[in-house]
Amino acid sequence: MRTEQASGSGTRRRRVRFPEEEPPTAQDGWWQKTLRALKTLLLFSIILGVSLLLWGYVFQGCGPSPCKTPVCQDLLALYLASGNTSVAPCADFFSFACGNANRTSSPFQALEEENKRRVRRILETPGSWRLAPGEEKAFGFYNSCMNTGAIEAAGAGPLRQVIEELGGWPTSGNWTPSDFNQTLSLLMSQYGHFPFFRAYLQPLPTPPYLPVIQIDQPEFDVLLKQKQEPNYAQILREYLNYLYRLVTLLGGDRNQAQKHASFSLAINSQLNQMVGPGEQQRAQDKVFEMVTIDQLQRMAPTIDWLSCLQATFTPMALSPSDHVAVHDLAYLKNMSKLLEMKLSEHRDLLQSHMIFGLVKTLSPALDSQFQEAHRSLNQKLGELTGHPPMPVHPRWMMCMEKTEAFFEPTLATLFIRETFRPRTQSAAMELFTAIKDAFISHLHTVPWMDGETRAEAQDKLSQLQVKMGPSEWALKPDPARQEYDDIQLGPSFLQTFLSCVRSRQARVVQEFLQPVSSHRWQVPPWGLKAYYSIPDHVMVFPAGLLQPPFFHPGYPRAVNFGAAGSIMARELLHIFDRLLLPGGCLACDTRALQKALLCLERLYTALPSPKGTAFEVSRTLLEDAADAGALAIALKAYKKRLVLFRGETILPNLDLSPRQLFFRSYAQVMCRDPSTQDPQDIHSPPTLRVHGPLSDSPAFARHFRCPQGALLNPSRRCQLW
C-alpha cells in the first residue's frame, strides 16, 4: 500500500472526513425543519401564555368582581327591597331606586332606629362592660325608668310632693301664697321648666362666637292662633279637657277646675299672640339683640332677671352689667306687662298655670295616667290641625332617650366601643380627604368665581378641621366626668329624674366655664346629623352616620363615594352658601352666577313633583345647589380613585356597573316617602333631590344610555358648582 507524502507544491494531500461532515441526507433535512417548527411553536405558545396572563391581570383584575361578604349581602338585600327595577331609570330614577311599595322606612330612619337598638342593647347588658366608678348610675336610671310597676304603685304621690315644695296648688285647697319670682326661679333651676321664656347657654352665631346666656320664647304646648286654625273652638275644648283631667289626677277640686283651666288656656293664647314671626326678625337682620341684665330689667321689670338667671346658671357669677342675647325683645316686654296685670288680680291662677306646665314637662317621669292624658291630647290636636301626631314610642325607647340625655359621656364611650373601629375611622377619613381634594380641584371649573375668591375658598378648605366618628372625650373619657356624684337614684323615679335634670344643667354650665380647648360636639356619637361649626371651622361626621347602609370599609367604593361621599361633599358646599346669596361675592361674575342659579331653578321647576307635595324653589334653592354640586364632586373624586386604585367590586345580582352603582347609592340616601315631608322643610321633595342632580349630570345619562330628551337627559344643563 502506497502512502502519499507531502513532498512539494504539486503533491496532493488526501483529506480525512469526519462523520459530522458527511453531506446531509434527505432524512437529516426533514429533522431540521421539524426542529425549527417546534421551536417556533414553543415560542408562540410562550407569547400567547404571557399575553393571556397579562390580559387576565390587567383586565380581569381591574374589572369589577362581586362583593359577597356579609355586609355586602345585607346591602344588596336593602337595595333589592327598596328599588323597583321594572321602572326605566332614565324616566324615573327615584322609583327605580326607591319605588318598592313594600319599603317601610327611609335609610336614615332605619339607621336611626338601629342606633337606638344598639344603645338599648348596651343598657340592657351592664355586665358586658367594664365600668368606671359612677357609670353604673346610667344603668340604674334606665332600670328605674323601666320599672313601671314601682312607678304605677307610687301614682301621683311624688308629683304632689313636688307641688308642695313649690307652695302647693290652689285647686287642691292647699296653697301658701309665695313670691312669684321665687317660684319662677325654682321652676327654672330645680325642675327645668320655663313657663314664660326659655334661657339657655349657647355660643353666639356671630364673631367672636363666645358662649352667652340666650333668652327666647317658651315652647308652647299647643299653638293657639285663632286666624290660622279653622277648628279653633274644638282645639280649645280638647285642651281644656286635658287640663280638667290633670286636676282630677292630682285630686283637685273639679268645681274650681274650669276657672283655673280657662285662665291657663287664655294666658297661653295671649303669649302665643305676642310671639313675633321669625321670618320678620331674619329679614330685619335681628336674630338677637345684646342687652345687659340691667337693661332687660328696666324693659321687662316683672321678672327678677338677675335672681332667676343666677339660680339657673349656678355657679356662674352674674352681675347686672353682664350681657345676654335676647331673640325677641318685643315679646319679653309684652310678656312682662301681661304678667304684671295678672299678678295684681290672679296670683293663684298664675300659680295654677305654672303647675299645669310643670306637669307636662315632668310627664315622662310620671305614671301612665299622666302620659296617656298627654298622648291623647296630642292625637286629637293632630287630627284637628292636620298635623301628624307625635308617634307613640315603646317604653324602652323613652327610657333610653332620657338615659342618653342624662348620661351621654358614659353611653358615648360604650357606643364607640360597640360600633366604631379604628379601621372605620381611617377609611372614612380617607374618603373625606378624597372628596375635599376633588372639591379643591373642582373650584377651577366654577365659571362665576373670580381668582381671589377661588384662592380664598381653596385656603379655607385646606385649613378645615374634620372630626370623624367619635369625639376625643368619648375615646379617652375623663374619669372625673363619669362619677355623677350629684345624682341620687330614688326614692321614686320622679326624684331620680329631677336629680338627673339638675346634674345635667350643672354639667352644661361647668363645660361653658372651662377654657375652650377643642370643639364642643353638638351631636352625640349615635346621632346622624353631620354639621359645620363656623366658630371652630370644624366639620363633624358622627359615628352614628358612618354606618351601613351609607358607609362601611368593606363596601364597594362606588357605594361609599355615592352615599357617604355625597353627604360629605354636600356639607363642604354649605360652607360657601354665602357666596350664592345676593351681595355674597361682589368680586365674582354676578351675571354668570345669577344665570347659573336661574338655570338651576328652571331645571327643578320643570321636573314633575310628587302628588300631594308643594314646595317653593326659591326657598329650597341653596339646598338644591348643594345637592347638584355634591353629586358632581363625589363623582369626580370617585373617578380619580378608580384611576389610582384597581380592583373595584360591585353588588351581585343588581346588573349595575360600578358607575351605575355609584348613582344608585347616591339615590338610596334620598329614599323617603314624599308624603311625610314637613311643609316647612328647606329641602326639595326627595324625588326632586334625586332627579334634579341626576338630570344635571351628563355622566348619568351616558352610563345609563338615556336617550336625548328623556326626563333625566335634558337638552340643557346648568353649571353652578
Distances (CA, A) of 671 to 78, 106, 555, 563, 652: 11, 5, 19, 12, 21
pLDDT of residue 50: 53
Q: Counting every residue, how long is the chain?
A: 721
Domain 70-104+420-471+552-610+618-703 = CATH 3.40.390.10: yes
- Residues designated as active site: 571, 627
User: Tens of pLDDT along 34-55?
Assistant: 666 666 666 666 665 555 444 4
**What mean pLDDT is predicted for residues 558-564?**
98
- Whole-number average pLDDT of the chain: 86
User: Tens of pLDDT along 519-550?
Assistant: 778 899 999 999 999 888 999 999 999 999 99
With contact defined as beta carbons under 8 Å apart, do 335 and 271 qualify? Answer: yes
**CATH architecture for the domain at 163-365:** Orthogonal Bundle (1.10)
Task: Delimit the domains of the chain by residue range.
Answer: 70-104+420-471+552-610+618-703, 111-155+366-418+475-520, 163-365
User: Tens of pLDDT along 108-157?
Assistant: 999 999 999 999 999 999 888 888 778 899 999 999 999 999 999 999 99
User: Tens of pLDDT along 233-243?
Assistant: 888 889 899 99
pLDDT of residue 521: 85
Of 391, 377, 442, nearest in space to 576 by CA: 442
Distances (CA, A) of 196 to 184, 188, 190, 218, 583: 9, 10, 16, 6, 38
- Residue spans of alpha helices (H) in 83-135: 93-98, 107-123
User: Tens of pLDDT along 410-462?
Assistant: 999 999 999 999 999 999 999 999 999 999 999 999 999 999 999 999 999 99
Distances (CA, A) of 16 to 2, 6, 10, 434: 16, 15, 19, 83
Helix or strand (DSSP H, E) at 291 = strand 289-292
With contact defined as beta carbons under 8 Å apart, do 355 and 166 qualify? Answer: yes
Of 691, 580, 697, nearest in space to 634 by CA: 697
pLDDT of residue 567: 98
Q: Which residue has the higher pLDDT, 10 or 425?
A: 425
Is residue 216 very low, low, confident or very high in pLDDT (cuts 50, 70, 90)? very high
Q: What percentage of the chain reaches a pLDDT higher than 70?
A: 86
Of 568, 544, 557, nearest in space to 639 by CA: 557
- Residue spans of alpha helices (H) in 407-528: 408-419, 422-442, 451-463, 472-475, 493-513
β-strand pairing of 289-292 with 323-326: antiparallel
Is residue 13 very low, low, confident or very high in pLDDT (cuts 50, 70, 90)? very low
Is residue 56 very low, low, confident or very high in pLDDT (cuts 50, 70, 90)? very low
Cα-Cα end-to-end distance for the chain: 110
Whole-model pTM: value is: 0.83
pLDDT of residue 494: 97
* DSSP label at residue 284: T
With contact defined as beta carbons under 8 Å apart, do 502 and 486 qualify? Answer: yes
**What mean pLDDT is predicted for residues 189-215?**
90
Q: Dihedral (C-alpha) 423, 424, 429, 431: value to the nearest 10 degrees?
A: 110
Compute the half-sphere exposure of residue 568: CA atoms within 13 Å on the CB side of its CA.
34
Distances (CA, A) of 38 to 30, 45, 47, 576: 12, 10, 14, 71
